[in-house]
Amino acid sequence: MKEVLGDRKAILLFMLPALLIYIVILLVPIVWSSVYTFYEGSLIKGFSFVGIQNYIQLFNDSNFFSSLWITLKFTLIVTTGQVFLGLMLSLLYVFYIKRASFLIRTLVFFPVVLPTVAIAQLFAKLFEIAPNYGLVNSVLTAFHLETWVQAWLGQPETAFWILCIMEIWKAMGFYAVILYAGLMDVPEDVLEAAKIDGAKGWKMTQFIILPLIKPILISAIIFSLSGTLKVFEQVVALTGGGPGKSTTTLSVYMYQHAFTNGNYGYGSTVALFLLFMTLVVTLIVYKVSWKDQT
């Protein structure tokens, strides 16, 4: 075995299939998409070379900046909600419910395995106003709060927040399970020593538990950031990017240009910007976490 591991040709031979698959699946589409950014048109209309015109259009497009702002706002709110509630749930599992947490963990994790379209339909029915009131408007009516009854998904101010709530609810069980696994690795004797020294509640969490599960916490944040920056099917299934453009994220904006308007070049430019933005955000999180460790 040592002879094989010491042979660079043998290592290269073993790695080559995986490397080729990685290049074909991941890098080739990125390079292909980058080439499209210098063209306009589609497979049906044909392509024409436009140089950097798509990039100039991108930085002069007010709708693009509107979608960018919506994406960043959505990412900040949903990532905070998913990781924070996931952490609270994992603490609840480990320190309060303990072994009886299996049923609660299963129920909270259940939305993760549900199809996004089914969840979007569920939320659409919950906040429905016509032809019949959904659960939310019915409850408001029952408590004589008729002035609060409204078309929740028909207004820009409320549609965005319902989209955020739906995404947080759907994924918080996933982050609770990840952080629960991290908490299970926290040494029991460390917790007992902290209790003897008088640490409890939030102080125990802040000074003992969070530093010990920091690598898992950083991974959870990166998972959530990459998922929320690229959010697409949740928006399409619940609001379709509307009303107006109030929930049009960068992914939806890219789709509209590339596939609805048939402009692959500009759609690819938006997609490339999204790729670099995700990469930069991930590197920043890594760098900040690395600084704290050194």
* pLDDT value for 291: 65
* pLDDT value for 130: 80
Q: Which residues contact 265 (CB under 8 A, 6 or more apart)?
A: 36, 37, 38, 39, 40, 41, 47, 50, 54
Q: Which parts of the chain register pLDDT below 70?
A: 1-6, 291-294
Given a contact cutoff of 8 angstroms between Cβ atoms, the answer to whether 90 and 108 are in contact is: no
231/168 Cα distance (integer angstroms): 12
For residue range 1-27, list pLDDT tens digits in order.
666 666 777 778 888 888 888 888 888
Segments in the chain forming alpha helices (H): 2-6, 8-22, 28-36, 53-58, 62-92, 101-113, 116-126, 135-142, 156-184, 188-196, 201-204, 210-212, 214-229, 233-238, 250-255, 264-293
Q: Which residues of 77-87 are buried (b: 16+ CB within 10 A; e: fewer)?
A: bbbebbbebbb
Consecutive H or E run containing 41: strand 39-42
Given a contact cutoff of 8 angstroms between Cβ atoms, the answer to whether 275 and 55 are in contact is: no
* pLDDT value for 232: 92
Q: Whole-model pTM? A: 0.86
Three-state secondary-structure class, residue 40: strand
* pLDDT value for 142: 93
249/83 Cα distance (integer angstroms): 21
* pLDDT value for 85: 94
Give the type of residue at 168.
Answer: I
27/32 Cα distance (integer angstroms): 9
